[in-house]
Structure 1
Amino acid sequence: MGTDRSRTINMDVKYNPKNTSVSVSPSGEIVEGSSVTLTCSSDANPPVDKYTWYKKNVTSPKASGQSYSITNISSEDRGEYYCEAQNKYGRLNSSSVFVDVQYGPKNTSVSVSPSGEIVEGSSVTLTCSSDANPPVDKYIWYFQNETFLNGCGQIYNISNFKSKDSGHYHCEAWNGRGSRNSTALMIIIPGKQTVLTAAVGIIVVVLVLILCLSGFMWFRKKASNSPSDTRDTADDGQGDTSPVYDNISGMAFTPTAAQTADTDNQDDVHYSSVHFSHSKNQEVPLYSTVQLPQPQIQDEDVQYAAVKFNLPGAATQPVAAQTAEKDPSEIYSRINKPRTKKS
């Protein structure tokens, strides 16, 4: 009898990746600022040895590895992602998964139509735009920072635009994630603005003229004072254009015995004489005498100073001055400097 023996044969079939897919965690709403993890799965034999991540419409890879994490996700990360699984027998891309990042309004702005010159009595339309996810569900309009009671839509229309409507406009966009104000837009009637600009220009010109006139009057007053000062100075000289020479010399003399005796019995006396030349050709001597008590000394130093002035002529000088001195233009001043008594 023969025996029937069965044999089990294990066939290991090799194949490239199949059923490649992507899962997102967390699976609910993704809010800007949170973290998101993408995971790639694929059936392959041998198992996948390389995963690569891509964002749709972006050519360069975003990352590698079976999982791809995005921390502090932002609105720029919003889009479609897919992965590529690869082993030694081939590769396969997954289907795309959309990562929806929710965020409050951004880039809120106001546009005006017509965009050219605004004519009084015409119709003006303002439109508020904002980037938001989910989309903006409420708009609020402001004029001069005051809320419009009837301005709650994306578009605000002003029929029969008047000068009272000129001013700053801005809007505020809201969604479930927050709100954002636009920058202010200035809308004016050019004719009114031209008048205002002209008035401001006239005021500026008047102020400049006032400043210039004030400066001119100040300089004129200063110039008128300068000649009077010059005349006063000229009156002192009475037209005396002759040069004046100063000759100062210091000489030390040894006191005589008589002088020493006199100085022992009296206080030191200092004399100074100053002569000024006037138009009447006469000298007016000015004398000053200063007596200082000093201790008795045996000798003293005597210094002389001579000052020469160029005078019109000797005929007009006093006779006493001509007789006493050979040179009428020399004046001597005697100064006694006391010394302590020698021991």
Structure 2
Amino acid sequence: MYSDLQVKMTSVTEAGKRTLTCITTCTLTDNPTYIWYKNGHKVKEYTSSLYSDYFRDADSYSCAVKGRENISAPAVCQKCWSVTYTHQSICALKGSTVDISCSYTYPSYHEIKTAFWFTKWESGIGPNDLSSVPGYEGHIEYLGDKKSDCTLRITDLRLSDSAGYRFRFITSGGKFSGSPVSLTVTDVVLEMDPTSVSERENVTLTCRTKCTLDPITAYSWYKNGQPIPNSNTYSPVYILFSVSSEDTGRYSCAVEGHEDLPSAEETLTVRCKYMGFKSLVCYINIVVTDIGST
């Protein structure tokens, strides 16, 4: 019975070699001759089940028994089957474009038949190629090739695009799937505390996302749709000190480089604090501001 052939690999010796052993679960008789294959090509015939050689990471080895070459052991190698992502976790803004950078390796003598990305693996069916999933047409683009690059681009990101993305490829001699890349899609939210104040009180604006964007260089702040002069900060917090009626209005924020994707607006109301003439001026300013913002 030769169908249970396996190749076992030892650790690297001081000379830089590894020793391979062709083993089986049953006892072979008649002093069999072992045939060794490197990258799919026959390299040696031995009466011993041991074989030593210098290894490269991409080299694969297999063995068979002479006379039964059609039944060989599964190929073993160090790094010939792999999928590598530049980032295992990605945070991106709703409405933006993201590239999931990816590379892959496989035995050099194999030919790529199919390569695709998926998020769901249905029992009894297998993984669903994203390019054929409703809602993804024109939304994703495979930037990779059938050699080593497997980069995926997703445009006009939606909150529903948050998922674990996996790359899978099928060769002329096997198949392999990478581990998931976690993509979290977030929008920008402005928090205002408090939203209604009296004159000379402070107001704190906080620009939040539900995951950490990388990199963030600065935040931009807006009042009534216009940039607030000299307001760019490296902190997600912006404080309006000692507000007056002139600070009444609608505020929003954005991440630098994505100013076209600002947060929803929050409205600040400033109440008049003093009586007499100042109170009247405060009231007039609020009325004028409200009229100008409609």
- The TM-score with structure 1 as length reference comes to 0.35
Highest relative contact order (Cα 8 Å, sep 6+), 1 or 2? 2
Instruction: Please state which structure has a larger fraction of its residues in helix.
Output: 1
Choose 1 or 2 for highest CA Rg. 1
- The TM-score with structure 2 as length reference comes to 0.39
